[in-house]
Amino acid sequence: MDKLDFNIESLGNAKINSPMKNVQFINENAKVLFEPRLEIIKEKIAQGIEPEAFNIAGPREKIYFDPSKLRTGIVTCGGLCPGINDVIRAIVFSLYHHYGVRNIFGFQYGYEGLIPEFQHPVIELDPDFVEDLHEKGGTVLHSSRGPQNVVDMVDTLERMNIGILFTIGGDGTLRGARDIAEEVKKRGLKISVIGIPKTIDNDISFVQQSFGFETAISEAKTAIYGAHVEANGAKRGIGLVKLMGRHSGFIAANATLATSDVNFCLIPEVPFKMENLLKALEERFKRKNHAVIVVGEGAGQDLFDDNRQFDKSGNLIFHDIGTYLKNQINDYFNEKGEPVNIKYIDPSYIIRSVPANAHDSVLCLLLGHNAAHAGMAGYTNVLVGSWNRRYILVPIPAAVSKRKKINPEGSLWNSVLASTGQPVL
């Protein structure tokens, strides 16, 4: 791995005293190590290499923007994820109550909301408007997929005199945020762009756990419970659950650990041969009368003849591995004259749309607060994340440089193998 650059960018000197009271301000140089393994750190220091570390997020004693004159905007992009409304609410509460900012605008329907021709009116956000937002799934600002013209978006920000833009979204949204920040810089504007990473798949680099992920695991557990009960109810029953995870199998892996009912977990990072899976199922049916399979949506894409298509956001359209598995398994056992009873469950939309659970509510609250603190301090082109139980700031360009994936040699996948007892497929 190349030396990672986690230095964060700022709009300039923060000279205004923060209006926050009763609070421990965070030193702007406080950092948390990227890698907390003792032997690795000692080795680096011995070699004279500064260990990589992230800036710790939090309220700063000096802020960049004058709250009384500041105008801010929030936009939500991409697919739904539990907790978006919590984040919006937390940003509004922090801007309003912690700093006294009175102009907070919600852009509707994702980046479209920044493009005049779509004619989506902005919403004025204040504590009354967001009061009960955390009890609702989805996003009150609505969303859309796909990039928009960066020049037009920055024109809008300039025209509206926006000082901080908060973008809540995934990989594509963060790339958009980076592009906006760069255009802003090119024009010499003083607009801070702060990302709050939203990925139910939990696949953004340097974001140890994204909001909504724990809630997704909870809901996935319900679906796997159903698959297990259904598999058990019938002779030679198979419960097959497709879970979210296009490039990374974090949901599938964690849901597998959370239920202990899963016999086969298939993820994008660990290729498998259909033949091996079928043989393993056959073996299992010699011992047991049922089986439960969990598959991440991006798993087994190499099993399809390639003919890749892309959606409006430029995201790859995935082949439907769930239906494929269902058909292959049915065909195989039908041909053998030993039919199985497959129940296929795709709970994705139910999972995405629930309100955040308690864990994610806390996470969203503190991400929102820290996003507000980061913006007020004048940082830009950064996202807020958490790392080893500290909230941190990460340069967006670093975070979008590559996807976070499960390490097939690491402890998470190790635990999945230990829990399922599945063979190498």
Q: Which residues are catalytic?
A: 201
Rule CB under 8 A: which of 347-376 touch a copy of itself? Answer: 347, 349-350, 352-354, 357-359, 361-362, 365-366, 369
Cα–Cα dist 281/339, whole Å: 12
Nearer Cβ to a copy of itself (193/321)? 321
Cα–Cα dist 292/425, whole Å: 15
Among 10, 218, 315, 328, binds a copy of itself (CB under 8 A): 218
- The size of the interface with a copy of itself (CB under 8 A), counted in residues, is 97
- For residue 15, the 8-state DSSP code is -
- For residue 209, the 8-state DSSP code is S
CB of 337 to a copy of itself, least distance (A): 15
Using rule CB under 8 A, residue 135 touches a copy of itself: yes
Among 168, 191, 223, 393, binds a copy of itself (CB under 8 A): 223
The amino acid occupying position 132 is: D
CB of 418 to a copy of itself, least distance (A): 6
Rule CB under 8 A: which of 76-105 touch a copy of itself? Answer: 80, 89, 93-94, 97-98
Cα–Cα dist 110/141, whole Å: 8
CB 380 within 8 A of CB 9: yes
CA neighbor of 190 nearest in space, from 71, 364, 89:
71
> Given the structure tokens 């990460």, which residue do they identify?
394
Nearer Cβ to a copy of itself (122/189)? 122
Nearer Cβ to a copy of itself (305/358)? 358
| 165 contact partners, CB below 8 Å, separation of at least 6 | 72, 73, 74, 75, 157, 177, 180, 191, 192, 193, 194
Planar angle of CA 391, 132, 369, nearest 5 degrees: 20
Beta bridge partners of 237: 290, 341
Among 194, 227, 252, 400, binds a copy of itself (CB under 8 A): 227
Nearer Cβ to a copy of itself (209/328)? 209
Among 199, 254, 301, 380, binds a copy of itself (CB under 8 A): 254
Cα–Cα dist 289/307, whole Å: 37
Rule CB under 8 A: which of 297-336 touch a copy of itself? Answer: none
What's the token pair of residue 333?
């056992």
Task: Return the range that interacts with a copy of itself (CB under 8 A); candidates 160-168, 216-224, 274-282, 325-333.
Answer: 216-224
Nearer Cβ to a copy of itself (318/391)? 391
Rule CB under 8 A: which of 280-299 touch a copy of itself? Answer: 289
CB 322 within 8 A of CB 210: no
Among 129, 137, 284, 425, binds a copy of itself (CB under 8 A): 137
CB 5 within 8 A of CB 29: no
The amino acid occupying position 65 is: F
Rule CB under 8 A: which of 20-59 touch a copy of itself? Answer: 20, 22-24, 29-33, 36-39, 41-42, 45, 51, 53, 58-59
Rule CB under 8 A: which of 145-204 touch a copy of itself? Answer: none
Among 225, 279, 315, 320, binds a copy of itself (CB under 8 A): 225
CB of 185 to a copy of itself, least distance (A): 27
CA neighbor of 133 nearest in space, from 188, 173, 90, 194:
90
Nearer Cβ to a copy of itself (45/151)? 45
Cα–Cα dist 425/418, whole Å: 14
Cα–Cα dist 400/181, whole Å: 14
Beta bridge partners of 316: 310
Nearer Cβ to a copy of itself (303/417)? 417
CB of 205 to a copy of itself, least distance (A): 15
Among 177, 345, 367, 382, binds a copy of itself (CB under 8 A): 345
Among 196, 255, 329, 400, binds a copy of itself (CB under 8 A): 255
Rule CB under 8 A: which of 384-423 touch a copy of itself? Answer: 388-391, 409-411, 414-415, 417-419, 421, 423
CB of 241 to a copy of itself, least distance (A): 9
| 14 contact partners, CB below 8 Å, separation of at least 6 | 60, 62, 63, 64, 377, 378
